[in-house]
A and B are shown apart, each in its own frame.
Chain A
Amino acid sequence: MGIKGSLFLLLGISLGYSLLIIVRKYSGFLSGIPLGKEFKPPHIRYDSRLLYALTLILLLVLPLIVGDYYIDVFILAGIYIILALGLNVVIGFSGLLNLGFAAFYAIGAYTCGLLTTKAGLGFWSSLPMSVFIATVSGLILAFPALRLRGDYLAIVTLGAGEIVRLTLNNWDSLTGGPNGISGIPSPFVFGFELSKLSHYYYPVLFFVLFTIFIVRRLYYSRTGRAWLALREDEVAAEAMGINTTKYKFLAFSFGAFWAGLAGALFAGKMRFISPESFTFMESVFIACMVILGGIGSIPGVILGALILVILPEVLREFQLYRMLALGIGLVLMMVFRPQGLWRRG
């Protein structure tokens, strides 16, 4: 049974599962029990589990339907979803504007690149190291950042991001300078090389789902509520017994955690990295995803990342105007729809 065969099996299982959900959901309806409250609470307008199941199936079979170009775009979108969700923890949940997020992304990518090319480690053993080192750098940046308010914080994170980029650009002996690192090997899974894009798609998809799951769980946890309190009113949060310092540290390192993961995935996909990919504009681009979709909202941020990755691909002929439109878009968003696209006012 080849890959196509096993995928077909997977498709069947998912279809069966969603069918099960439908039957379970509407069995009461079918057997004549009147539609009670538990079937349609006023705020849920559709069966979300079914929608999720169908989306998942679609995502799983995607490489069979569409060509490599689309898969390439989807992998990129997946990496950006991870990044945007990570930044959303910092900006959206805890209200700390981080304009140097690409630095952690870069640290993740370079750790992976250096460990695989210079230390001879495999991709999967470098990945946790990337995540670990990015998280630690998040903690380090949190030290100066903790004492600062909104806009000062933004400028310090921006400065830190630029320092990282300039270091990568100038430390020729380690990072290869402006030429970057090339020849990063593709990851192996059970001795099977994920060299094709359509193969690499699956680990990325897995990590995207993993990120969504963890971030969502965290959002509704005690920690998540503490972050929200911190965002809304730092003084009041502290008065309520929330250790603001601890939660700021947590937010910074947790955001950097995902950036490290995304960085490693990026390195594994491109197999070549250079400081070019981690400029200030990249940080702004990720921040735009968070802002566009809706600061703090998880589906909103995913939507924002998808829009900002896919839209430029669709509008290829207007590529020159991409950043121009992004700039205008930011201003218009702030003036007319500061809550983002997803949430209602």
Chain B
Amino acid sequence: MFLQQIVIGFTVGGVYALIALGYTMVYSILELINFAHGEVYMIGAYLGIIFLGIFTAIGLTEQSLPLALLLTFILSVFFCSAYGFTIEKLAYKPLRWAPRLSPLISAIGVSIFLQNYVMLTQGATDKVFPHILELAKIEFFGVTMTTLQIFIIATSLLLMMVLHLYVMKTKTGKAMRAVAQDRIMASLLGINIDRIISVTFIIGSGLAAVAGLMVAMYYGLVNYYIGYIAGIKAFTAAVLGGIGSIPGAILGGFILGIIESLAAGYLSGEYKDAYAFIILIIILLIRPRGLLGKATP
């Protein structure tokens, strides 16, 4: 039971971590809680259903399932990145030098808009994710894992590694770190801030799209309001690990997933969604900079 809950927690935690990365990257650069990020994740899940539906209709899933899945992932990531890019340009960029509360309120506005937009265009009822994967069960040490769980954990770890390398090794990654440290100084050194911010939003939204797709495959149901709760939990994960820190977001995601699944298993499932908030408040009270975050002066 214990190990089983850990496995579930690890799976969900990987998803939280992927979303949390988007929050933490945007926060480190803009000092903005991107409320619309959870909505991008939700749109990713919907796009997955839509594209898989198309591929099933043209018969691609029957011919080659991996290819269809891969194309679904690529297309969802592409469209979600476009969403993220557009949101930043329309709702946050005009407010870059406004008082701090303005972009936050604007972000809430975008979040409300996207939720209702999806509700109006896709309907208010649950959408079922097509059941295409044959789930093999693997057992070791008395724990059953489905191939899907392994796939989710592996994909999230892989993406995190790629992102870490990208931020640490490439020139754009270096520029991102510079903008996060000091926006004005970075621009004086010839870094195109607008471009870096756009890249940040594109990457964050792409990761959210992958997370959304994997959650849709895992739970099999998608609704227009899943983005809100997942977004809050991912934000909690980002704060837990230390906002602004990429390893922190990953660590926070996994810890939150495991705590939540253990608490749901042993304490009470009804309050499952409340644990994240309680953790969030406790963290902010005793260690506001999170586990791996830097102390703010």
A residues with CB within 8 A of B: 95, 97, 99, 144, 147-148, 150-152, 154-156, 158-160, 162-163, 166-167, 170, 280-281, 284, 287, 291, 320-321, 323-324, 326-331, 333-335, 338
Contacts and interface: CB of A to CB of B under 8 A. Distances in A.
6 contacts: A150-B101, A163-B277, A323-B112, A331-B106, A334-B103, A338-B98
Nearest to B273: A166
Contacts of B276: 159
B102 interface: yes
Contacts of B153: none
Q: Is the interface of A mostly helix, strand, loop or mixed?
A: helix
A327 B113 contact: yes
Contact of B120 (A158, A324, A334): A324
A343 to B, nearest CB: 15
Contacts of A281: 112
Contact of A334 (B102, B232, B271): B102
Given A148-B284, A152-B288, A280-B228, A335 B106 contact: yes
Interface residues of B, number: 44
Contact of A162 (B100, B110, B277): B277
Contacts of A287: 105, 108
A335 B95 contact: yes
A331 B33 contact: no
A152 B287 CA distance: 13
Contacts, number: 116
Contact of B274 (A163, A321, A327, A334): A163
B112 A330 contact: yes
Contacts of A97: 101, 104-105
B32 A144 contact: no
Interface string B73-98: 00000000000000000110011001
Contact of B281 (A99, A159, A320): A159
B100 A291 contact: no
Interface string B225-257: 000100010011001000000000000000000
A333 B109 CA distance: 10
A148 B286 CA distance: 12
Contacts of B56: none
Contacts of B274: 162-163, 166-167
Nearest to B117: A324
Interface in B2-43: 31-33
Contacts of A327: 109-116
Given A159-B276, A321-B116, 17 more contacts: A97-B101, A144-B281, A148-B284, A148-B288, A158-B232, A159-B277, A160-B281, A162-B273, A163-B277, A163-B278, A170-B270, A287-B105, A320-B120, A324-B112, A324-B117, A328-B109, A334-B95
Nearest to A324: B116
A326 B108 CA distance: 10
B57 interface: no
B121 to A, nearest CB: 10
Top-8 shortest CB links A-B: A330-B109, A327-B113, A327-B112, A159-B277, A331-B109, A334-B106, A324-B116, A323-B116
